[in-house]
Amino acid sequence: MAEMEEKPSYLSAAGAKYALGIHRGPLPPANGDGCEIEHVETALSLEKKQRTKKEAIRRHWARFWCCYIFFSIIFLAIILPVFFLVILPAVSQRVVDNSKLVLVDAKVMQPRPDSVILTMQSALKLPIGLPVRIDPITLDLFNRDEPGNSTWAKLYLNGTTISGNTTLGVTNQFTPLNADEWAKYVHNVVFEEHAPLSLKGTTMSYLGKLKSRVTMDKTIKQNTLNSFAGFAIEGSQLLLPPESDGTNLIANATLPNPSVMTLEIGTTVLDLKSGDLVIGNATIDNLILRPGNHSNPVRGRIDLGTVLKNLGPVLQSQKDSLPNGYLTLNTVGKSVVYDGVEVPYYTNVMRNLTLSAKIPIGGLLINTLRGIFNKNGTNILDQMNITDSSSSEGTSSLLSELQNLNLSSLGGALSSKLTSRSLAEFLDRPDDNSILVDVLKGFL
């Protein structure tokens, strides 16, 4: 009986039929001839394959493209309003704030109590090289240091394109005035050396297709009148006898204007004072202050009666000036009238301004004597019928000397006398002063 092979107990179990390889049969034994069991292997490589950067990006995009599109939409929905509503206006405003604005020309003409004809041109230079277009803009001209609404005028500028250094402004614009604020600005212009000009306005700016609202808020630094530093009266001459309208003094007054502004003032009447005593008045017809130093003809009336009645105080007020060869006259504004209407803001500022001028005595005497001896360009001595046969030798000689009078040397001699110590001593002698008064009354 053949010996039967014993069957493993785990193959007799109920679930053994589901085991893999149960029907494979026994493996052949290894023989002594060196034969080996043949193995079939399926090799699964666990090594990770290296991808290029491009392949990695492509694979990443293929997996997450929908996420990128979603978050891009969210980002643009947030950033675009911020860009157009916040960033672009801020950048445009920064460009305007960093721009340079310079006043190059200004004219204030036809002054009325509540209006002027205004011309104002300013050069604007932006810190970028791209052209910027702006809509029409209304600029408020105001006093920055004043509280509340300190606007004194408005400028209405047309729309334009700003490229490089561009001139902006208005020409001959009728401009209503806020009289109170305008008077404050005029006061600053007259009394200060660098009175600021402040302006403010809002408009739309366009950089290509992009637009944004910008505000121009600038203070322009400028040279102003500085109390007319350098004021002078030159070419003064007494008219003896006076003209039919009472004018007995003519001269030229220089009112320096270091600004770029042309100011039409009007007919200006000034009080002439020696010390605190008003001794007459002077009138400048149709005064216009143009940039630079320009002389304006002055016609005045010296009240000689007042001077003689108050000769002692007058000489006393000139005590420091006469020994140095000049007279000191102070002028104070009395009224300013344009086209028959008083201009209150100019009148008030001139009333608060005292201008002092030194008048050389020598020049005054020379011009006065020249006017006496030369009426209408003709030497009055030529009109006298004087011959050698009808005149004594002394009279003929005197007239000859007068006809050949060297006024320059005469003025120098008189000026020298007036600057001598004897004059100072004379001014301190009341009795001699009274004698001088009587002599002058007789002469006049």
Q: Report if residue 197 sits inside a domain.
A: yes
User: Which pLDDT band, with edges at 50, 70 and 90, does 163 fall under?
Assistant: confident
**Do 256 and 272 reside in the same domain of the chain?**
yes
Bigger pLDDT: 290 vs 76: 290
Percent of the chain with pLDDT over 90: 39
Indicate the range of 79-83, 91-95, 138-142 predicted with least confidence.
79-83
Tokens of 144: 């920055």
Angular region, 246: left φ>0, alpha ψ -120 to 50, beta rest: left
**Do 233 and 356 reside in the same domain of the chain?**
yes
Indicate the range of 92-106, 115-129, 173-187, 271-285 predicted with least confidence.
92-106
Bigger pLDDT: 220 vs 209: 220
**Do 215 and 232 reside in the same domain of the chain?**
no
Question: Phi then psi for 370, rounded to 5 degrees?
Answer: -60, -40
**Do 211 and 230 reside in the same domain of the chain?**
no
Bigger pLDDT: 430 vs 254: 254
Q: Report if residue 61 sits inside a domain.
A: no
User: Which pLDDT band, with edges at 50, 70 and 90, does 50 fall under?
Assistant: confident
Domain endpoint, select from 367, 388, 405: 367
**Do 153 and 263 reside in the same domain of the chain?**
no
**Do 182 and 299 reside in the same domain of the chain?**
no
Owning domain of residue 254: 226-367
**Do 246 and 145 reside in the same domain of the chain?**
no
Q: Report if residue 332 sits inside a domain.
A: yes
Strand pairing category for 261-274 and 100-112: parallel
- In contact, 354 and 331? CB cutoff 8 Å: yes
| Mean pLDDT score, 273-284 | 93
Domain endpoint, select from 221, 236, 264: 221
Say if residue 32's pLDDT is above 60.
no
**Do 211 and 273 reside in the same domain of the chain?**
no
Domain endpoint, select from 197, 221, 245: 221
**pLDDT at residue 347, as a whole number:** 96
Q: Report if residue 395 sits inside a domain.
A: no
Number of H helices, E strands in the chain: 11, 19
Tokens of 395: 């009279």
Q: Report if residue 354 sits inside a domain.
A: yes
**pLDDT at residue 392, as a whole number:** 46
User: Which pLDDT band, with edges at 50, 70 and 90, does 443 fall under?
Assistant: very low
Say if residue 371's pLDDT is above 80.
no
| Mean pLDDT score, 104-115 | 96
Q: Report if residue 272 sits inside a domain.
A: yes
What is the number of domains present in the chain? 2
Classified as helix, coil or strand, 261 is strand
**Do 195 and 126 reside in the same domain of the chain?**
yes
Tokens of 295: 């002389």
Indicate the range of 189-203, 308-322, 375-389 predicted with least confidence.
375-389
**Do 288 and 194 reside in the same domain of the chain?**
no
**Do 193 and 213 reside in the same domain of the chain?**
yes
Say if residue 387's pLDDT is above 50.
no
**Alpha-carbon gap, residue 357 to 230, rounded angstroms:** 9
**pLDDT at residue 441, as a whole number:** 52
**Alpha-carbon gap, residue 150 to 176, rounded angstroms:** 14
**pLDDT at residue 133, as a whole number:** 87
- Side chain identity at 370, as an amino acid letter? R
H/E stretch holding 423 reads helix 421-427
DSSP state of 13: S
**pLDDT at residue 205, as a whole number:** 86
For residue 301, what is the domain's CATH number?
A: 2.60.40
| Mean pLDDT score, 160-183 | 92
**Alpha-carbon gap, residue 165 to 76, rounded angstroms:** 37
Q: Report if residue 74 sits inside a domain.
A: no
Percent of the chain with pLDDT over 70: 69
Indicate the range of 238-247, 263-272, 386-395 predicted with least confidence.
386-395
**Do 179 and 300 reside in the same domain of the chain?**
no
Highest mean pLDDT among 54-63, 65-74, 217-226: 217-226
Q: Report if residue 408 sits inside a domain.
A: no
**pLDDT at residue 436, as a whole number:** 52
Bigger pLDDT: 164 vs 388: 164
Q: Tokens 């005197």 map to which residue?
A: 398
